Structure 1
């Protein structure tokens, strides 16, 4: 039916007769000569239809956007000055001799040949099969397919085995809610869709498979953001008899190979940064190192000031006070400062204090509060405090200093986000790509009710001995590592616990008793009794990675059939109610939806 794809027709085929098939992307009638831009997954091809082929001309004249046509003709060079350098086939065109209409099309609900028209995401997802005809979406999906092939090729060459793990499993505590699947043959009991293949890939190591990988579908019933979906894809890796540095080197090699193959970008060795340093300097465990701004702790300076907004958190063991110096930021208007104040409010900050640095040329004699500094807050500070702030932040004339003061989590969330926003707003990026590893994560973090929860998952190996784990779980560090790119976590992993004694100690720290542990993890605990090798691994978020590589703003733009932010599918209208018969077979009854109170 076709001899070549539209987008692959080049000068090498001039004077040859070819047949193409595809969709009418655009139709133009120029004084009796019809031009059709034909589209397929490889790109566009200009087709010319002259009146001296009356049947073909009549068919082309009747064709409209998105008609499916088969066209046979002769390839010829475009006239000089009419070439299109933006198309692979831009130097040639097809002079049509025969045209057959394979399928007609109604007028699409939105144009596919004009990217300047804004179309709502809801409409795009409802007609996703049309949306994916757009050249931009076709390129993204083909990029993803080629990237996946490159990933498989690299891991195959490294001796990894592609092994599938179950989709129907049992619920396990991994930090998010499970999607539950009722069983018809076991009324009242449920499977769970896997949040990750974590336990199964560990069991594969116990089974002796040594190096495993899988392009795995994972499911989490959680609140969604631009980089989250209820179902997502990850590149899952697990190895035995390798330490954390060796696993990071293999994973880093995968990222380097992928960027070199797909984008022609060559990375140097990824820098390592401890979690403590990342939180101190960037208030984030996934810092965007393209932005040179850093946070500076100033709590010790603020402990004695009269301004309780600062002195309160400065004297609170769970508080934090930081400064963020913006070079040449004194030009930021008051309106912009007000906008930034509203922005940090999203993260719980009650305000955003600032100081504009106008003139500190004579700082050794104190700070001129009249002309040297400009801010509503400086009247609450002594000269000594202000001088030390200038010195600590290394502020220069023309700079702006923002302050964050509150509970540490609020400050980290708000000021970390503000740092990135200002960096992007002021175009402070120093490079296009900034990969790194964040290491030495805490094993646990405290919940609001005073209990401990795993920072990664409860199968992560801590540094130190079993006794140290039991005696001081609050200070325990994990042998874990996250791969970060441009402020986005694209992968995370760790060494795993491979002894029953250490796994029991971690469960105890999490408040998981012997009975609960055996009920939920008996298969893993049983496996640890039979010679589990030292092992570890990593999972890369394929959707996020592709999103960054193609410059999309959401992973929904690199997934063929994504869900909305509310986990709904406008295309299939899922989730949907099921009929009463299905519910009876499953032994389920749906509670009536609550009526509005008014």
Structure 2
């Protein structure tokens, strides 16, 4: 039977009890991790969110009734214990914060009994994730997940503290807003009061935070839920959390400077990592040329080399054919991997095909100076020598080449260098390499829609020196946009916003919107801009991704209390699910779904 807490008050969490309290009486409460009956003495490990504490029960201390209660204890029972702090009678456990002490119980109350859990509550659980997510409330008791969520809370608090001290105001923006389908799919919410009309859940507070700048609030921030109806990956969820901010009367350098100091505080005070400032900057073009990615992992080398000029007249038609079609030939040097077995090279070729490669050319420089290659027979010794020299290769190196359109070459080699780094265990999770990527393309061309679309969003400011190109060559226009990248993961991004009406109208024109269509979608923002709008810029971090990297996890599910799985469902609550016909009738909705 469960007992009442009446008259009892917890004095300490488990790991708040230390050898400084030896001889004092304390009251602790928590869950039974395990119980060991040694005959006449029972050892119980009590667990709360702070950690473990050993409690010993002897009949002479707790009486026969108390000892009988201790004998009934099983894993996950919830108990309250009153007892005296003592130096540990047995061997000290160096792995525990409380490993040098124990509590000699004087009183025990069983506050709640527990069924046998479907899996052990332990760190680094080997239980299948599907089962753990079904019983997420039990999974969340595991110490490693609790540490993750405690760190997440600390990061959020540090962010609030820093931004408040920097003059930012925390202002909430609406969750029910208008659908502006320019990007990912919206989650829609039907309106009962306005039949046939829908709200959208926000993909970001973008338009509202720009309106706040129009309203004169100068510096805004919010830790906010956002929603996108898109396919999930390890670092994607249908609902996610942003650290969102916007600043007035600023340019790129101002935004980057304040955010570098925010990151420095966040990492120093939460995980003890001292970020070197200023953070390295790299333009989008340089990032693509050197790493084949706009979010490069700079913890290791293996940079791309453009060898198009070296091979343009060679006898290998794969290379020359790509160049004739306006593409390029580029390679990476896997240092010291010349003796990689053919089976592994073939696996890399297949991996490259996943990113659009028709194949992958390789050349191994043997220790004796000879070559092992898939294409050597098509090139002269002089051509091969020039290629090896251009790749800065030495004996023992393996060279891998892609020849195609630039976007394919970048995708293939950018992902291939990461795959090789993973295989060679070059990606150290305790190493934190930050990078600002700047000057993104303003636009990208959609072959499907036969028009330009915004690389970030339609309110991103072009680089002033590229404004004329909006009329003549829109694809070459650079944006005053920036991403913050950590270890090959984009953790945040933002831009300077357009605030001049003529530039905004031109942007909509290039995107294929008529003036009427632009006002239909964004009229409330464009109308606000008629009444005096300051230059402004902003940035938003993905809090989930950020904490995932800080905790060295592989998935954001491990830093979110109640995450969804890949099909955007919740295994614990069985959401999404059907609703009553009465609710649908009130909303004027009929369901027409093929079973």
1:537 is matched with 538
Q: Look up the SS of the partner of 2:59 in the other structure.
A: coil
1:301 is matched with 310
Q: In 2, distance between residues paired with 1:278 and 1:114?
A: 38
Q: Which runs of 5+ in 2 are unaligned?
A: 1-8
Q: Look up the SS of the partner of 2:526 in the other structure.
A: helix
Asked whether 1:231 is paired with 2:239, we answer: yes
Residues 351-383 of structure 1: CA deviation (Å, up to 9, x unaligned)? 22211101576xxxxxxxxxx101131111222
The answer (yes or no) to whether the contact 2:19–2:100 under 8 Å persists in 1 is yes
Q: Look up the SS of the partner of 1:331 in the other structure.
A: coil
Q: In 2, distance between residues paired with 1:37 and 1:411?
A: 57
Q: Look up the SS of the partner of 2:464 in the other structure.
A: coil
The answer (yes or no) to whether the contact 1:444–1:474 under 8 Å persists in 2 is yes
Q: 1:40-439 residue pairs with structure 2 within 5 A?
A: 40-52=48-60, 53=62, 54-79=64-89, 82-113=91-122, 115=124, 118-268=126-276, 269-317=278-326, 319-359=327-367, 372-428=370-426, 432-439=431-438
Q: In 2, distance between residues paired with 1:342 and 1:118?
A: 30
Q: Please report the TM-score for the alignment, with normalisation by the length of structure 1.
A: 0.94
1:367 is matched with none
Residues 565-591 of structure 1: CA deviation (Å, up to 9, x unaligned)? 111100110111112111111111111
Q: Look up the SS of the partner of 1:196 in the other structure.
A: coil
Q: In 2, distance between residues paired with 1:62 and 1:359?
A: 69
Q: Look up the SS of the partner of 1:506 in the other structure.
A: helix
Residue 13 of structure 1: how far off its partner (Å): 1.1
Q: In 1, distance between residues paired with 2:581 and 2:72?
A: 49
Residues 249-304 of structure 1: CA deviation (Å, up to 9, x unaligned)? 00111111101101111111201100000000100000000011101112233333
Q: Look up the SS of the partner of 2:172 in the other structure.
A: coil
2:461 is matched with 461
Residue 230 of structure 1: how far off its partner (Å): 0.4
Residues 300-351 of structure 1: CA deviation (Å, up to 9, x unaligned)? 333333433322222222x332111011111322222122222223223232
Residue 427 of structure 1: how far off its partner (Å): 3.1
Q: In 1, distance between residues paired with 2:565 and 2:328?
A: 36
Residue 429 of structure 1: how far off its partner (Å): 5.0
Q: In 2, distance between residues paired with 1:403 and 1:290?
A: 22
Q: Look up the SS of the partner of 1:329 in the other structure.
A: coil
Q: In 2, distance between residues paired with 1:514 and 1:146?
A: 46
Q: In 1, distance between residues paired with 2:389 and 2:127?
A: 51
The answer (yes or no) to whether the contact 1:162–1:213 under 8 Å persists in 2 is yes
2:472 is matched with 471
The answer (yes or no) to whether the contact 1:307–1:380 under 8 Å persists in 2 is yes
Q: In 2, distance between residues paired with 1:344 and 1:62?
A: 59
Q: In 2, distance between residues paired with 1:233 and 1:502?
A: 31
Q: Please report the TM-score for the alignment, with normalisation by the length of structure 2.
A: 0.95
Q: In 2, distance between residues paired with 1:498 and 1:45?
A: 59
Residue 471 of structure 1: how far off its partner (Å): 3.2
Change (3 A) 1:580 1:436: same
Q: In 2, distance between residues paired with 1:27 and 1:412?
A: 57
Q: Pick which of 145-154 and 449-458 moved more.
A: 449-458
Residue 242 of structure 1: how far off its partner (Å): 1.1
Residues 541-588 of structure 1: CA deviation (Å, up to 9, x unaligned)? 100000000111100000000100111100110111112111111111
Alignment length (residue pairs): 581
* Counterpart among 33, 40, 57 of residue 25 in structure 1: 33
Q: In 2, distance between residues paired with 1:307 and 1:188?
A: 62
Q: Which runs of 5+ in 1 are unaligned?
A: 362-371
The answer (yes or no) to whether the contact 1:26–1:113 under 8 Å persists in 2 is no
Q: In 2, distance between residues paired with 1:558 and 1:265?
A: 19
The answer (yes or no) to whether the contact 2:469–2:476 under 8 Å persists in 1 is no
Q: In 2, distance between residues paired with 1:400 and 1:314?
A: 23
Change (3 A) 1:568 1:384: same
Q: In 1, distance between residues paired with 2:59 and 2:337?
A: 65
The answer (yes or no) to whether the contact 1:360–1:396 under 8 Å persists in 2 is no
